[in-house]
Amino acid sequence: MEIAYINSPLGITKIIGDEDGVSVISVSDVGINEVSKEIPDVLKEAVFQLQEYFDKKRTDFNFKLNPKGTDFQQKVWKSLLEIPYGKTISYMDQTKKLGDIKAIRAVASANGKNPLWIVVPCHRVIGTNGSLTGYAGGLPRKKWLLEHENPTTQQSLF
């Protein structure tokens, strides 16, 4: 596994992956103060595309992903990839698309365990009433991401 740390508007972003794909993208407020001086070859495309995203030059990602999780989590994370850039859906809508409305807590839990921040866009899932709810990176980051992707429509959420 290779690791890189880059600056982002949300803090130091950690990227982990290997030749099979990127398995983790996360941002932390603690423990990391320096960015990587050199980016491992297997992570260069992910770093490039993330920088384009933050520069508003990219709305989707096409580097190889390799998140680790259960079959159910993988199914939930795959459904997140279907949410268009600049749009949001509710947890209930996501659960309905997955076929079992009784699984809403399990779906929300799987979203919370999403290891590929931003790229697998769990930030685009909001409460049924339009409120910002639950985000592993904190609600201020979720708000920032939604406003970054759609500065006009999202204002009504906050």
- Measured in degrees and rounded to the nearest 5, phi and psi for residue 113 equal -100, 5
Do 73 and 45 meet the contact criterion of CB atoms below 8 Å apart? no
Give yes or no: 56 in active site.
Answer: no
Q: Which of 45, 3, 19, 25 is nearest to 119 (CA)?
A: 25
Q: Which of 42, 98, 122, 125 is labelled catalytic? A: 122
Q: List all residues 6 or more positions away from 95 whose beta carbon is below 8 Å from its beta carbon.
A: 101, 103, 104, 107
Query: pTM of this prediction?
Result: 0.90
For residue range 60-91, what is the model confidence (pLDDT) as tens digits?
Answer: 999 999 999 999 999 999 999 999 999 999 99
For residue range 91-147, what is the model confidence (pLDDT) as tens digits?
Answer: 999 999 999 999 999 999 999 999 999 999 999 999 988 888 878 788 999 999 999
Largest CA distance in the chain: 47
